[in-house]
Amino acid sequence: MSHDEPSLALVWETFTGYQRTAAVKAAIELDVFTHIGTGAATVDTLAAQCHAAPRGLRALLNHLVMDGFLTKDGERYGLSATAAALLDRNAPAYLGSAITFIASPAVMQGFMHLTDAVRRGGTAIPDEGALAPEHPMWVEFARAMTPLAGMTALLLGNLLEVEQAPGWKVLDVAAGHGMFGITLARLNASVHVTAVDWKNVLAVADEHARAAGVAERFRMLTGSAFDVPFGDGYDLVLLPNFLHHFDQPACERLLAKARAALKPTGRVVIVEFVPNDDRSGPPDAVRFGLVMLAGTPGGDAYTFAEYQTMLRNAGFGPPTLHDLPPSPARVVIAQR
């Protein structure tokens, strides 16, 4: 992004950014991309398939052409390469469901009160935002983020070389959809996984474990990750997308608890948005700090330097930082 010339277009695009979110969300909810994926279509044929008014659909489809998700040739609409690969429910890499969480009323609510959150330095949503026990938002999260997490989990499995692992015992903390632990178990039949999360959320992970055929190596511990006893002797403790919800003292308490559950050669594996130490990039990692401000009392997108401090304070050895291209996620690994 050049900062050299004033850009009215940048201002307008940002002021109306929420409209592009709403347009793609409506298209996913109406399954527009999936219907078009079965063959280029006109407004009238799609209106019948999507149970929508032609007038409404026409406005939506034309917007999506401008946004880069559809193509238009005369009266017929088709999918752009992006929509074909990522937003058609029949595509192997489908991740449209993520909108159900990323732009859910619960997450958006924090941004509706962002000015107040900046004033007070933490979420302006009552009841400590989404961190209340059994908050239904996390069931929604578990279902919505499964495809995106599945992709990241495969990349993590590669990084950890799990296929060569000698019968790892894995603890997946705040497992949610369970995809991180389940994917490791799926990639290596000697891996055993214990997943921790609220009971309502683990029901989703349980479904996924059965679907992946790893149910007999998948055990569940229900409750708060801060309170439920983890047991011990684990080779890996996974902390995927969890620490960002909490302030540093809470992270250190949880890391110390994770460390106590590891065998002496065991490792903690943290999957996160990790901005550079001066928070100058990468863009999505830096932006994620604002998501945490909007939605949590004390969470953040922590830098590697901050993870180094927290891990040292929790008793771990020096950590390493790893990228997971093409995912924006990064991995911090430290040995007990």
Using the contact rule CB under 8 A, the part of the chain among 26-34, 160-168, 178-186, 194-202 near its own copies is 26-34
Shortest Å distance, C-beta 52 to its own copies? 5
Cα separations (Å) of 43 from 24, 38, 58, 211, 328? 17, 14, 6, 37, 36
Place of tokens 């949503």: 125
Please list every residue from 285 through 324 that binds its own copies, using CB under 8 A: 286-287, 289-294, 300
When asked if residue 325 is in the footprint of its own copies (CB under 8 A), the reply is no
DSSP state of 306: H
- 87, 33 Cβ separation under 8 angstroms: yes
80 binds its own copies (CB under 8 A): yes
Asked if 19 touches its own copies (CB under 8 A), the answer is yes
Measured between its terminal Cα atoms, the distance across the chain in Å is 42
Judge whether 150 and 183 are in contact, CB under 8 Å.
yes
Please give the residues from 27 up to 56 whose contact with its own copies meets the rule CB under 8 A.
29-30, 50-56
Quote the CA–CA distance of 332 and 17 in Å, as a whole number: 32
For its own copies (CB under 8 A), the number of binding residues is 87
Phi-psi region of 183 (alpha: psi -120 to 50; beta: other; left: phi over 0): alpha
From 84-92, 157-165, 170-178, 221-229, span contacting its own copies (CB under 8 A): 84-92
Residue of 154, 165, 228, 328 that binds its own copies (CB under 8 A): 328
Q: How far is the CB of 301 from its own copies (least distance, A)?
A: 8
126 binds its own copies, rule: CB under 8 A: no
Q: Is 249 in the site for its own copies (CB under 8 A)?
A: no
Distance CA 197, CA 294 (A): 23
Minimal distance, residue 254 CB to its own copies, in Å: 20
Query: Phi/psi at 267 (nearest 5 deg)?
Result: -130, 145
CB 74 → its own copies: shortest distance, Å? 8
3-state secondary structure of 264: strand
- In the complex, least distance from residue 196 CB atom to its own copies, rounded to whole angstroms: 28
Taking the complex as a whole, the smallest distance from the CB of residue 252 to its own copies amounts, in Å, to 18
Please identify, among the stretches 98-106, 194-202, 210-218, 258-266, the one whose residues bind its own copies according to the rule CB under 8 A.
98-106
Q: Which two tokens stand for residue 39?
A: 């063959």
Read off the DSSP letter of residue 91. Answer: S
Nearer CB in complex with its own copies: 16/265: 16
From candidates 22, 159, 203, 212, binder to its own copies by CB under 8 A: 22
By CB under 8 A, tell whether 137 contacts its own copies: no
128-147 b/e with 16+ CB inside 10 Å = b? Answer: ebbbeeebebbbbbbbbbbb
In angstroms, what is the minimal distance from the CB of 99 to its own copies?
Answer: 5
Going by C-alpha positions, the residue among 50, 46, 56 that lies closest to residue 23 is 56
Smallest distance, Å, CB 150 to its own copies?
A: 14
**Rule CB under 8 A: which of 102-121 touch its own copies?**
102-103, 105, 108, 111-112, 114-115, 117-121
Q: Of 38, 44, 48, 68, which one interacts with its own copies (CB under 8 A)?
A: 68
Residue 45 · residue 113 · CB < 8 Å: no
Task: Show contacts with its own copies in window 177-206 (CB under 8 A).
Answer: none
